[in-house]
Structure 1
């Protein structure tokens, strides 16, 4: 098999694995394969995984079977999920030392970059001092975590940290980190590919780079040389035609696709874009729709390399030599899309860009798109709809309710905005929508409009480049005049780090439980995520965020009603909205390659606060017992005790959930309540409430995180229907108490526990603590109607067994109350997707069958080793001792 070919470019000779030759040896044509599958084929050939390669070449696009091992070229981490991943690596070094090994056997085998972007909170907003104040608070709060990361930076090879105040991981990845095509020390050329510990890693697919989000556990495995296994995907081709209508933005396109593809049920599938309309999209627009893949449920939204990819690489300051290499390799190896041939897809969905119009999504989910003209009416309808993803279950009179603030005598009505945030890599990466926001703000200021003082406003650029072009175009000033001052370079509101509202407003909202709203340019608006007191949250483009802030309420129809009245003159949205020609002119005038080179020069050492942090040296970390941020996790205490199928007998239900329980519900990232189990733990350790920080920032401490598991204030356990939040009822006594306390009771009584759930269990961010916390609470299994891909994988990798109801069956149809004792007849040597007998004993005994969601042989191996981390240690030790 002579699959290696030569490539001559930039006066250098390179070698590569030729895709056309590989598939020709199996009597196939490379043009039949989707571009994303071609990347997988190349990886399998390069790693000499011939059996898997042959299986993938032979796969049936309409009905794919089997699994594919994925070995990414690199891994990216953000700090919320990255810190616990590095904590695990440090703990693994300790475990290796205790077993008599060399700690350095635990070391990244591929390049790893951690970007600190999730820790900054919007403590102060609406002033010129916001950025410096929030940054100072960030370093003050997170000193222990940053010390730990500085240790890791010197302890591990192949590991770099992008310090705070640089940008959001996915935007930095897009604008700087990715080479698209990689050359190694032997001048072998191959596609860039990656896994990241954030579900929006999919954004990089906009650049023609295959990658997706995984849990921290799976990322750790990839870092240490283990392949990730996933079912051979269906590849859904999305043919884009036409051009966007005037006024429609990339955000609107992303919301349309999210709604369309959710309805088309692409969960767990690859989505690949093509068509004449695809060729018309800027790369920033492609990155915007690729970023939203987790919202439409796909593993990735792949955008093949073409001329636009090369143009973007030049715009962002990549070297001409690198651009030449990308072009030559992609064209030579059939990875360059020219539109002349359409691969064979599982099926094709068509979207005409001309049908895309201004929209929002909300009030609780990103897939619930609402045309701009229907937002006000939709909000009113949501008040009286049953409590759930689209309703609040209130009386119609709620629409007229309001509270009056004593200090200012200002009033806040149902539906009024109390928060407006331009945030998130989804949109801040896109100059088109950011410039549009700046121009709209400029027009608003010129006409004398202002934002009500009851609204907290913020601007969090995704990278320094955004600040540069807004500043050069004199657009920062009008944004700041409307209160959209820069508050930090990070995810901020989109990840739940919106910070506090005005004290009087927070008190009023707690007392009144008024349904107020937020509008943000983020990608997620799940319950309790944006701010615990804001119940109605809407996703919108950056210019619409400003428009709604000016209007002050979600109840106003911006297509027909004036935003404001100035000197008896009615000001409408169309009076402020800039033309696309004006936006394009600004981008052409104020954005060039030198800006990107300036923004990213000396990226790893440009932050002086970061450089001044002192830390310990050495191969093993010096754990501090008093730390409430970083602690040695107890994942390796039973490393030599094999898993037994008997662990699935006599299980009590810890919690019973309905549909759409997200990883935000399972493992919240934001506020730590004073009276919550985690809050009580911190208080007992001498931490003042003002210093609690967030769950996200404390993910390096298992004691805090296990207490926060299933602790979202909006989670609804059906065992305690009258109580919202992390509470449950003991099956043994009927007592109601926190889920954490119940879990500790069951562990003390040596009773294993089970989670019952509905559809899409674990959807949302690739949050490894959603699985880790489940494990530490003593949960042995989860039984759900369906799973989001990443969370199912994370559960398996933490030794928790995922089961699935058979088609047409649910807890309700089977008569399961959650007060039964369960036995799963899992054999000693289970098989992939095996049908398992279950017995539930309660007031009556119920026998039924479920599907075992071990989707690959690797899943079975993980379970037998109590998870992937003990497995890796065992393999490393065996290799060292051989």
Structure 2
């Protein structure tokens, strides 16, 4: 890919570091033509540099640079600019379908008369396999080994396919299973802060930036690397050299000052920040942290805050590069020359935060005195619903009494015996306690704190309650090493927190099975089981199908709740249990001091540890090395019998020139949904039930329920994923009141059936479909299958009150219209029941963010006409939609270029 733009602003400069010369596009030089940039937010400086470097007078222009510079005048802009990241990060749930799409594009370009070798990543792509390990085995010394064996047995077809992709595509690397979570591997190894590439024999340096096919790519924002989650569709276009147009975002400044009190963790801080920013309203905006508090904050704590940007709704949560960043690069084993390069380059650009640097101009600001943060949790259903630890038990009791947990409020004290066990179970008992997910497992301070809590509890004779399934899933092998070096591993093991695997596990629904007797007690008595996890997502139906109340908490609190065994106990006042001396033990008795945690971390976490663990990162375990593939073919040899990987139908019958787009009418409503419908609701990642369209499909293909694996692992097979779309067990379609799960009603027959079956019946009848929703439609993970599945069901448009950023983009990328009600209207004010037919008019003249006419025809023939805002936001997106999707657009252009 060309690095040299037209340089109309004469910004190109040279920089010599350690005797080596680098070329770059200077912001201070550009400022001489476009105005003072000194107070432009650091995050927007990354966008501006991108424009200067790629300026070609077509996709990137001087006007784009001027638009970013002018942002400072008002702190906002209505203009859009293109952006092309330095690299792409993928995980296997989203990465497998991404590679499937690339393989399908190679087939597609051949049919269009083009060269399959044109379909190849043009920017570096790293795929980290971290989402496939499940907690099948836990609380035993053999848990890690057995889970790895099961993982490879389950995922052999997927891993063979990824090995083929590793050999077949250039610029594509795979980090094998068992290495760590993609965001932690990114933070600890892949990210470079300053990226380099060679063009025409010259080496250029520029800011490291990253698109990731996972929402929590924002974790690397803590390292001063601008990156955020995009759908797999958008990432594929970016890796194929397509610049992604974006509106220049508002930037909310978050001022931090003071420091955390004794006993308060980074997790408590991030849950507080999440609640504050959700309340502020930062969807689609950049958040940039500033203020004197940054000097008091370890890089790991910054990464924890950056990680949860999707939970507070922002595109990113950015921390500028400063001396703390450089110290972390050194600690984590980065090359000393690259560290010097990052420092000198960013200082030359005015992108290095100094203690006396002026505060940037922001669209708006808010601030937090970190000394006011208190121990916290978040739940029982949303990560932004922070509750003080002291109020957790009473909050749960109120929810239970109010009936919002799905059980009658007058049965709050119900307890039932568990078959074959010497204990009973009640509402709020913790059945899963998991130290899991990238948010906290990247942070040695909270992980060491968890180990110290385990040590003190173990020494006092406390034990984990027998109904609690415990697990520890480190974010990288470095974690295992420093826990072992600190002597804390035996204490975690003693409480059942043996390492179960290196991956996301419980946070993405890979929590594995609960004992049958516990499941029976919950299901037969409608008990509200609870989980406590150190993750970032606790949406309904995500962690486990039988766990209704899910709480996010710091790793040391996860250990504490495993000991307490219930969410109904106030751990700030009531004893966790009795010690071996018979005396009550309180949380304060086993909670380590801040100094104790810091001293331990500083003693055991070393540069050599990172260098050793990442020295051969692409090698993988013996099972990975044993996989053999035939990469001699430029196109993939699809196996028609595979239930994991199939050639998707996106490019079937595609012509070199797209047909004109047209309005549609007579569309039926497939689903009428409420607020906060997440991508987990639309495309679940958890277990596949036998009594579901996806389960029935797999059984028809001789797959036993025990071998179903999860939806996430089946994303390479569109047949499974279509059937799983809207199949979440907790989704509520208002067209069929009183029924929970993915069902719909067919009209005019009135037949109630699974959504997939209803959609296929409409498809056979040639009837287009629409979906209605409420506010924040598509929140959560950047799950491209939520858009792909919607498209394959025959849905032409999704009409709601507001969209989450990534899902809106993904819908456009699949050729599905995202439409927003005009102010004051929604599915309820319009009196929609699901019996109506819908027409959308005006598509022939589609333009960005235009108003379209919507005609609602009632069963009695009467019509209601109104307008909806078309959220096809940019000129590029209009082209994508006209082509039937972004991949179709790219593929046609590639075929023409060939």
**What TM-score, normalized to structure 2?**
0.96
State the secondary structure of the residue aligned to 1:58: helix
Do structure 1's residue 233 and structure 2's residue 246 form an aligned pair?
no
Deviation at 1:395, TM superposition (A): 2.7
After superposition, residues 594-605 of structure 1 pair within 5 angstroms as 594-605=608-619
Q: Does 1:152 align with 2:152?
A: no
Instruction: Pick one of 643, 651, 669 that aligns with 1:653.
Output: 669
Deviation at 1:68, TM superposition (A): 2.1
Following TM superposition, by how much is the alpha carbon of 1:645 offset from its aligned partner in structure 2, in angstroms?
Answer: 4.3
Q: What residue number does 1:571 align with?
A: 585
Residue 649 of structure 2 is aligned to residue 634 of structure 1: yes
The CA deviation at 1:818 is 2.2
**Contact 2:663–2:843 (8 Å) recurs in 1:** no
2:536: which partner in 1?
523
Query: Which one of 14, 19, 33 corresponds to residue 27 of structure 2?
Result: 19
1:196 is aligned to 2:212: yes
Change (3 A) 1:61 1:616: farther
Asked whether the equivalents of residues 385 and 393 of structure 1 are also in contact (C-alpha less than 8 Å), the reply is: no
Q: Which moved more, 1:467-476 or 1:640-649?
A: 640-649
Show the counterpart of 1:53. Answer: 65
SS at match of 1:714: coil
- Cα drift, residue 13 of structure 1: 1.5
Q: How big is the shift at 1:644?
A: 4.7
Q: Residue 754 of structure 1 corresponds to which residue in structure 2?
A: 770
Q: What is the CA-CA distance between 1:393 and the residue it aligns to?
A: 4.8
The answer to whether the Cα contact below 8 Å between 2:114 and 2:896 also exists between their aligned partners in 1 is: no
State the SS of the aligned residue for 1:240: strand
1:863-882 superposed Cα distances (whole Å, 9 cap, x missing partner): 100001111110001111xx
Listed one character per residue, the Cα deviations across residues 272-325 of structure 1 (whole Å, up to 9, x for unaligned) are: 000001221110000000000000000000000000000000000011111111
What 5-or-longer segments of structure 2 have no aligned partner?
A: 1-8
Give 1:507 deviation, angstroms: 2.0
Q: Deviations over 1:325-360 (max 9, x none)?
A: 111111111110114301110011111101111000
1:97-134: per-residue Cα shift (whole Å, max 9, x none)? Answer: 12222110000000000000000000000000100000
Report Cα offsets for 1:209-249 as digits up to 9, x if no partner.
00000000000000100011222100000000111111111
Contact map agreement 1:492 1:498 (CA 8 A) in 2: yes
Tell me how far apart the structure 1 counterparts of residues 584 and 521 of structure 2 sit (CA, whole Å): 32
Aligned position for 1:136:
149
- In the alignment, which residue of structure 1 is the partner of 2:829? 813
Give the alignment's TM-score, normalised by structure 1.
0.98
How far has the Cα of 1:648 moved from its partner?
A: 2.5
2:610, 2:394 → 1: CA distance?
Answer: 43
Contact 1:631 1:700 in 2 (8 A): yes
Question: 2:552 corresponds to which residue?
Answer: 539
Question: Where does residue 224 of structure 2 map in the other structure?
Answer: 208
Per the alignment, in what secondary structure is the counterpart of residue 171 of structure 1? helix
Report how far residue 697 of structure 1 moved. 0.3
What's 1:271 paired with? 287
Aligned CA-pair RMSD: 1.1
* 1:875 maps to 2:875: no
Correspondence list, 1:824-839, <5 A: 824-839=840-855
The Cα offsets for residues 601-639 of structure 1, whole Å up to 9 and x where unpaired, read as 111014221111011222111100000000000000142
Which residue of the partner structure matches residue 742 of structure 1? Answer: 758
Further displaced range: 88-97 or 634-643:
634-643
Instruction: Write out aligned runs for 1:380-779 (5 A).
Output: 380-385=397-402, 391-566=404-579, 567-617=581-631, 618-640=633-655, 642-646=658-662, 648-779=664-795
How much does 1:394 deviate? Answer: 3.5
1:409 deviation in Å? Answer: 2.9
- For residue 400 of structure 1, give the secondary structure of its aligned residue in structure 2: coil
Structure 1 residue corresponding to 2:297, chosen from 281, 287, 294: 281
Counterpart of 2:384 in structure 1 is: 367
1:676-705 CA-to-partner distances (Å, cap 9, x unmatched) read 000000000000010000000000000000
Q: Distance in 1 between matches of 2:605 and 2:405?
A: 44
- How far off is 1:417 after superposition? 0.5
Residues 24-63 of structure 1, C-alpha deviations (whole Å, 9 max, x = no match): 212x211120000000000010001223222222235434
What is the distance in 2 between the residues matched to 1:703 and 1:396?
Answer: 41
Q: Distance in 2 between matches of 1:244 and 1:706?
A: 47
- Quick check: 1:858 aligned with 2:876? yes
**What displacement does 1:14 show?**
1.4
Distance 2:321 2:268 in 1: 23
- 1:7 aligned to 3, 12, 15, which one? 15
Q: Secondary structure at the match of 1:2?
A: coil
Corresponding position of 1:29: 36
Which residue in the other structure is 1:782 paired with?
Answer: 798
Measured in 2, the distance between the counterparts of 1:370 and 1:40 equals 37
- In structure 1, runs of 5+ residues without a counterpart are none
Q: In 2, distance between residues paired with 1:383 and 1:647?
A: 48
Q: Which secondary structure does the structure 2 equivalent of 1:501 belong to?
A: coil
> Any idea what the Cα deviations from partners look like across 1:173-196, whole Å, max 9, x if unmatched?
000001110122222110000100
Instruction: State the distance in 2 between where 1:443 and 1:630 align.
Output: 48
Aligned partners of 1:757 and 1:783 also within 8 Å: yes
